């Protein structure tokens, strides 16, 4: 299926590795030019070079921190100059602080602040500076990566669930306000996606990975491409009548009927 988005430009935030990088590749495979944003300048430049070489699209790396307004201003200036603003905005973010804790043990104000800054305020900073650049184009797609915890809170994930729910509410407001500009706004809510790209304390142990597979009727973890394919679909022409929605990619973990 031709998604009809070849030649568009997408900004993908938090895209030096993991899901953000894979989303950038998936859009580039559809002929979309990329602007990548994350803190690790060298890694980000290498990802941009890899994308340009593999998919034959333009790929630009802008190094910066999503929590820092001056960095987002610099990103906006680059986007304005390069393409007058992106057509597609994918709001991926960093993760909540580790380790995960039970809610009554989650007492450290610094961890709450970090979770808020990383997952919610960073999205708001990007939206308030970048989305105005998209509104004069008459067409646009905004897709935020949240978590299936907004539908069914996962054990010990309050630091994530609270702010992903905030992102979901913020995106719903945005969808209502800018739909008349031809811009759709949706969320993709993953859970139990393979994170073997990460190593060290952030990754799940082999035993935990086995346990997590049993949380879904499918009995397996989701693949990165099952998330990136959903994002690419929401960015497509065919998804033009979907807005203000959340699409879960969680293998049936969520028990709710709708
Ligand atoms: N895997 C799942 O099942 C699942 C479920 C629910 C939600 N999620 C969410 O999906 C997102 C992606 O997951 P992942 O596994 O790909 O995470 P990851 O491997 O930890 O990658 C996170 C990316 O975010 C960037 N980043 C972190 N903080 C940043 C900041 N302040 N400013 C700019 N970039 C920043 C990192 O690059 P730099 O270090 O270079 O900045 C990196 O590219 C996370 O928010 C995660 O919580 C995943």
- 161 Cβ closer than 6 Å to some ligand 1 atom: no
Kindly list the domain boundaries of the chain, sorted by start residue: 9-249
Query: What's the CA gap between 145 and 12, in Å, rounded?
Result: 11
pLDDT on residue 198: 74
Could you tell me the two tokens for 164? 């992903």
- Give CA separation, 168 vs 81, 112, 153, 196, in Å: 30, 18, 14, 26
- 17 Cβ closer than 6 Å to some ligand 1 atom: yes
In sequence order, what are the beta bridge partners of 89?
A: 11, 142
Considering only CA atoms, which residue is closest to atom 5 of ligand 1?
191
Q: Is the pTM of this model over 0.85?
A: yes
- 235 Cβ closer than 6 Å to some ligand 1 atom: no
Closest atom, ligand 1, to C-alpha of 192: 3
Class of domain 9-249: alpha beta
CA of 227 to the centre of ligand 1 (A): 14
pLDDT on residue 94: 98
Nearest in space to 26 (alpha carbons), one of 231, 240, 237, 251: 231
pLDDT on residue 164: 98
Mean pLDDT by 10 residues, the chain (258 residues): 97 98 98 98 98 98 98 98 96 96 97 98 98 97 98 94 98 98 98 81 72 91 97 98 98 93
pLDDT on residue 202: 52
Q: How many other CB atoms are found less than 10 A from the CB of residue 46?
A: 13
pLDDT on residue 207: 85
pLDDT on residue 203: 55
Decide if 150 contacts 161 (C-beta within 8 A): yes
């Amino acid at each position: 299926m031709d998604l009809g988005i070849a030649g568009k430009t997408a900004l993908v935030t938090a895209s030096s590795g993991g899901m953000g990088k894979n989303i950038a590749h998936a859009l580039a495979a559809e002929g979309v030019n990329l602007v990548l944003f994350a803190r690790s300048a060298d890694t980000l430049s290498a990802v941009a070079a890899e994308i340009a070489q593999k998919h034959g699209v333009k790929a630009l790396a802008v190094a910066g921190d999503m929590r820092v307004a001056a960095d987002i201003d610099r990103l906006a200036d680059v986007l304005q100059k390069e393409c007058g603003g992106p057509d597609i905005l994918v709001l991926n973010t960093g993760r909540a602080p580790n380790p995960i804790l039970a809610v009554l043990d989650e007492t450290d104000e610094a961890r709450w602040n970090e979770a808020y800054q990383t997952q919610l305020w960073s999205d708001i900073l990007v939206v308030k500076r970048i989305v105005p650049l998209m509104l004069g184009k008459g067409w646009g797609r905004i897709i935020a990566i949240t978590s299936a915890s907004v539908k069914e809170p996962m054990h010990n994930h309050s630091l994530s669930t609270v702010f992903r729910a905030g992102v979901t509410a913020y995106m719903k407001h945005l969808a209502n306000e800018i739909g008349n500009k031809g811009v759709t706004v949706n969320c993709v809510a993953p859970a139990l996606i393979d994170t073997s790209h990460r190593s060290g304390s952030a990754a799940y142990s082999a035993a935990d990975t086995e346990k997590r597979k049993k949380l879904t009727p499918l009995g397996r973890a989701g693949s990165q491409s099952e998330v990136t394919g959903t994002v690419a679909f929401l960015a497509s022409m065919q998804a033009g009548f979907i807005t203000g929605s959340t699409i879960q990619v969680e293998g049936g973990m969520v028990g709710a009927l709708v």
